[in-house]
Amino acid sequence: MKISGSYTMQAPREAIWDKLIDPDAIAGCLPGVEQLEKVGENEYTMAMTVGVGPVRGTYSGKVSLANLNPPESYEMHIEGSGRPGFVKGTGMLRLAEGANGSTEITYEGDVEVGGPVGSVAQRMLGGVARRMVEQFFSCIEKQISGG
Amino acid sequence: MAVTKMFGASVKRREDPRMITGRANYTDDVRLPGTLSLVILRSPYAHARIKSINVEKARQMPGVVAVYTGKDLVDSLAPVPCAWLPPNSDLKVPEYRALAVDTVRYVGDGVAAVVAENRYQAQDAAAAIEVEYEMLPAVVDQEKATQDGAPQLYADVPNNTAFVWRLAGGDIDAALRDADVVVSQRLINHRLIPTAMEPRAAVAHYNPGSGELTLWCTSQNPHIHRLLMSAVTGIPETKIRVIATDVGGGFGSKIPFYAGEMIAVAISKDLGRPVKWVEDRRENFVATTHGRDHIDYVDVAAKQDGTITGIRVKAYANMGAYLSTAAPGVPTWLFGLMLSGPYKIPNISVEVHGVLTNTTPTDAYRGAGRPEATYVLERMMDLVADRLGMDPVEVRRKNFIPKEEFPYTVATTLQYDSGDYEAALNRALEIVGYEQFRKEQEAARAQGRLLGIGFSTYVEVCGLAPSQAAGAMGFQGGLWESATVRVHPSGKVSVFTGSNPHGQGEETTFAQLVADELGVPLDDVEIVHGDTGRIPFGMGTYGSRSTAVGGSALIYAARKVRDKGAKIAAHLLEVSPDDIVFDQGRYYVKGAPDRVKTFQEVAGAAYLAWNMPEGVTPGLEETHFFDPINNTYPFGTHVCVVEVDPATGKVQFLRYVAVDDVGNVINPMIVDGQVHGGIAQGLAQAVYETAVYDENGQLLSGSLMDYALPTASMVPTYEVDRTVTPTPVNPMGLKGAGETGTIASTPAVVNAIIDALKPYGITHLDMPLTPQRIWQAIQESQKGS
């Protein structure tokens, strides 16, 4: 399944970049994150509870960042599984300077899902993912403006 | 005692009260003390290597008694067998283990099994099993799977091709060369999920003391399952009793012999305790066989006047990840043999590639092969008519086998028993008011409204038999049927049939037959089926064969009983058996109807045996095994009338007319019900149901929220009628009515919708014809103009 979108943030690119590679900021802003631990350079283990339609449960797995090109782009690899099934995907995040000091974030990813979440809830997955991304960026934005 | 004739009477189904009041005894209703719950952990990946399985955590969980992996069962269970092996097809049967040993090949492949004191514990423990997979590339499309470079499921099955099967009659190359027109089309007959109301289930009870296994399961053919269970477990057939009396629908999906039941048996034997396994609905979607999934390349040779001179089909059949029990026979024999349909087509050639992919295995699904053949022919008839500017009805009529020519042997070598195709067509045209409709259609088109009419003039092969033909086709079994008629001393009758009705109503129709033969009240006849501990060896219920074959067996057994009774009555009445007349349950002396013994009196005398004629043994019980000389060939015409909304693509069903000829009819109400249900399933394929996999092999339509099984509000009212052309191949002159509706309806609906879309120049769309697909086709057609 392909996921893509964009978000405009009223914050400088560098500030956003710092947040987007900060495990504490990610853990604090991504809905449902229960645990996020750094296990290596740009490598994290993560546990996260997500509900997609009727399928709700905890996924645990790995997140790694690659091809870091501060403050412009990085690649993200995720791999997680749990009772609701499994998720495996690759995404690309790009930060571009926008008008009036804003930053335009664009993301695109290809995610493979399986198990109950794949067969029962896949129709709803796109919408849920988009909502979670929105929540995540708006939380990051608040963190930057508040702190 | 006056007994009215039961044959032809719309008797209400005797099995219904227990089923609709929750008193039926389905497998999940079997509750034995000490039963363990079995849950099978299934692969979430379509293709992966199992690197490791850690069951330790699961073993420690509350209530868990044992956990098994594939390796643990290799010694106790032989591979899941395939039992239809078409000869001369270079068939390769890959090893199919009950639980995968090192590689999983579809989403739903079994990986581990947990037994616990209750289902919740077993389910929780299954979730705690840690399996480390190494993902492998997957392939789900059968055409792509045959191409070089495609992911390979098995090292010893090159290009994933399990078999290539060919059948030819006449000279297709000459026919195509000499044709006035050749009409070609690629047709997709997409994958369906049978979705019986009762999912599969098993209760296995191995008694270590006696060495006997009792297995309650959801089977259309319990003796076949007993034989195969004996073969895979080594438990002698004589020590296995399979009970599948109340089964909540099968549609073919409960013919195969499956891993789940095998695992339940192996574990019960290992632990010496009863084990119950019941699929949940999601599991049913992946672990029970799917149906259809053909891609057909079709070329039809025709003359300018509409005469069809030949048909060539190259088919790619998606077999799924393993070859299920009867699977290789479905897209080959049951499809290829029927490619002449009701038409005289002198030159036929078919080549079928059976392809393995990372999907749930496919097997028989209501109609099994014949819907695929009928869809090919009936779609092509419309395309030929369109090309030649002819009325689709006239193209069909022109090519019908005339009624005078039966029995008729088609180019694929089948001999059709009897038929009057034109009579059924004429009746359907009359009911639907064809000429009037074409005028209305024209008027509607002038107003921008899209009306369409679609025809399906079909013939199918059912009453599947005879055994010799089964052998020639590589079916690893006979196609006869058995019956025992046991008359008790009171004159009540038990009938033990090898057929296993699971929704078809034979507890009623078989009783009607016996009531007539023995002249006893319907209520005095009990039909016993589905329990190998009680019935003679039988072949089971599929291919609309139970009444034609099983019904015949019991007619002959009942006649043996009646004849023995005549000898006893003659002896008691002190006349020669030749002077005895039997009528409506009474044996009387010819010309002296007051000198009489009732059937019940004779039954009593047979068991007292105080005064038997010489050479006649006590008791009144007879068995008959019936192997017919041929299959039966029901036929008919289905007509669908639709209106398509050009703004939304939505299809509204205006009328649905079905004129079927199933020969003589025992119970018109039951046949109507079979036709209604059959049409609903076939129509659903045309416009609603489809099994969808993503390219990684994930089943996206894996629940009843995503798989559009129709509800009553989604199907039209059916106008059902019949013509009657009896068959000579069985004593009742009846054919079979279980699958006609499904076989006929799919192309009738598609043809109607395409006819409605004619103003847009649309000549073909692949199913299911959802509003989205129709709307898109309309938009695209307008882009061009």
Q: What is the pLDDT of residues A54-109, one digit of tens each?
A: 788 899 999 999 999 999 999 999 999 888 888 888 999 999 999 888 999 999 99
The answer to whether A72 contacts chain B (CB < 8 Å) is no
Q: How many domains does chain A have?
A: 1
Query: In this structure, are B301 and B445 located in the same domain?
Result: yes
The answer to whether B365 contacts chain A (CB < 8 Å) is no
CB atoms within 10 A of CB B693: 24
Query: In this structure, are B510 and B442 located in the same domain?
Result: no
CA distance B196 to chain A (A): 19
- Where would I find the beta strands (DSSP E) of B174-282? 181-192, 201-207, 212-217, 240-243, 275-278
Nearest to A115 among B44, B135, B285 (CB): B44
Interface test with A, best of B700, B707, B772 (most A CBs within 10 A): B700
pLDDT number for residue B785: 55
Query: In this structure, are B458 and B334 located in the same domain?
Result: yes
Find chain A residues with C-beta within 8 A of B694's C-beta.
1, 118, 122
Interface test with B, best of A111, A119, A123 (most B CBs within 10 A): A119
Nearest to B706 among A85, A115, A123 (CB): A123
Q: Which residue has the tokens 């005797």?
A: B14
Q: How many domains does chain B have?
A: 3
Q: Which residue has the tokens 């001369």?
A: B88
CA distance B37 to chain A (A): 19
Domain of residue A32, CATH code: 3.30.530.20
What are the distances in angstroms from CA B360 to CA A144, B150, B234, B294? 50, 18, 27, 14
Query: In this structure, are B349 and B232 located in the same domain?
Result: no
CB atoms within 10 A of CB A9: 21
Of B540, B542, B544, B514, give the one whose Cα is nearest residue B529.
B540
Residue B226 in domain? yes
pLDDT in tens, B97-150: 999 999 999 999 999 999 999 999 999 999 999 999 999 999 999 999 999 999
**Residues B513/B495, Cβ–Cβ less than 8 Å:** no
Name beta bridge partners: B68. Answer: B113
Phi then psi dihedrals of residue B117, to 5 deg: -65, -30
Q: Rounded distance, CA B741 to CA B368, Å?
A: 13
Q: Which residue has the tokens 């057994």?
A: B557
Q: Is the peptide bond before B407 cis (omega within 30 degrees of 0)?
A: yes
pLDDT number for residue B2: 42
Amino acid at B41: L
- A119:B705 CB<8 A: no
**Residues B403/B420, Cβ–Cβ less than 8 Å:** yes
User: In terms of C-beta density within 10 A (0-12 exposed, 13-18 middle, 19 or more buried), how is residue B355 classed?
Assistant: buried
Residue B186 in domain? no
Nearest to A118 among B127, B135, B698 (CB): B698
Last residue of a domain, which of B601, B626, B651? B626
Give every residue of chain B whose pLDDT is below 50, as ranges: 1-3
- What is the distance of C-alpha B104 from the center of its chain? 28
Residue B612 in domain? yes
Find chain B residues with C-beta within 8 A of A119's C-beta.
107, 282, 285-286, 698-703, 706
User: ipTM, 2 decimals?
Assistant: 0.82
Query: In this structure, are B619 and B646 located in the same domain?
Result: no
Nearest to B700 among A112, A116, A119 (CB): A119
CB atoms within 10 A of CB B285: 27
Structure tokens at B661: 């000829």
CA distance B133 to chain A (A): 11
Residue B639 in domain? yes
How does strand B212-217 pair with strand B201-207?
Answer: antiparallel
CA distance B415 to chain A (A): 45
- A85:B44 CB<8 A: yes
Which one is predicted more confidently, A51 or B549? B549
Q: Rounded distance, CA B468 to CA B477, Å?
A: 10
Helices (H), B167-245: 172-178, 222-233
Name beta bridge partners: A58. Answer: A49
Residue B275 in domain? yes
Residue of A nearest to B47 (CA): A114
pLDDT number for residue B1: 40
Q: Rounded distance, CA B81 to CA B93, Å?
A: 9
Query: In this structure, are B506 and B640 located in the same domain?
Result: no
CA distance A133 to chain B (A): 23
Q: Rounded distance, CA B316 to CA B165, Å?
A: 11
CA distance B689 to chain A (A): 15
**Residue B213 domain boundaries:** 31-136+197-249+254-287
Nearest to A114 among B44, B127, B706 (CB): B44
Domain of residue B490, CATH code: 3.30.365.10
- Give the CA radius of gyration of chain B: 28
Contacts for B56 with CB less than 8 Å, ≥ 6 apart: none
pLDDT number for residue B156: 96
SS3 B183: strand
What are the distances in angstroms from CA A15 to CA A7, A11, A64? 15, 7, 20
Residue B10 in domain? no
pLDDT number for residue B784: 62
- Give the CA radius of gyration of chain A: 15
Residue of A nearest to B694 (CA): A1
Query: In this structure, are B502 and B445 located in the same domain?
Result: no
Q: Rounded distance, CA B328 to CA B314, Å?
A: 16
One-character DSSP codes across chain A: -EEEEEEEESS-HHHHHHHHT-HHHHHHHSTTEEEEEEEETTEEEEEEEEEETTEEEEEEEEEEEEEEETTTEEEEEEEEEETTEEEEEEEEEEEEE-GGG-EEEEEEEEEEEESHHHHTSHHHHHHHHHHHHHHHHHHHHHHHHH-
Contacts for A63 with CB less than 8 Å, ≥ 6 apart: A36, A43, A44, A45, A46, A76, A77, A78
Residue of B nearest to A113 (CA): B698
**Residue A91 domain boundaries:** 2-146
The answer to whether A126 contacts chain B (CB < 8 Å) is no
Find chain B residues with C-beta within 8 A of A81's C-beta.
44
Contacts for B247 with CB less than 8 Å, ≥ 6 apart: B26, B198, B218, B219, B220, B254, B500, B502, B503, B530
pLDDT band, residue A113 (cuts 50/70/90): confident
The answer to whether A143 contacts chain B (CB < 8 Å) is no
Nearest to A86 among B44, B285, B701 (CB): B44
Residue B183 in domain? no
A58: left (phi over 0), alpha (psi -120 to 50) or beta: beta
Query: In this structure, are B305 and B418 located in the same domain?
Result: yes
Query: In this structure, are B47 and B82 located in the same domain?
Result: yes
HEC per residue, B289-326:
CEEEEEEEEEEEEECCCCCEEEEEEEEEEEEECCCCCC
pTM of the model as a whole: 0.94
- B44:A112 CB<8 A: no
Q: Which residue has the tokens 């849950």?
A: B39
C-alpha dihedral (B553, B556, B558, B559), degrees to nearest 10: 180
Contacts for B418 with CB less than 8 Å, ≥ 6 apart: B406, B407, B633, B663, B725, B726, B727, B728
Structure tokens at B40: 């099978």
Query: In this structure, are B597 and B676 located in the same domain?
Result: no
The answer to whether B45 contacts chain A (CB < 8 Å) is yes
Last residue of a domain, which of B576, B594, B626? B626
CA distance B45 to chain A (A): 7
DSSP single-letter state for residue B767: S
DSSP single-letter state for residue B413: S
Residue A126 in this model has a pLDDT that exceeds 90: no
pLDDT in tens, A4-50: 999 999 999 999 999 998 888 988 998 889 999 999 999 999 999 98
Of B161, B592, B512, give the one whose Cα is nearest residue B357.
B161
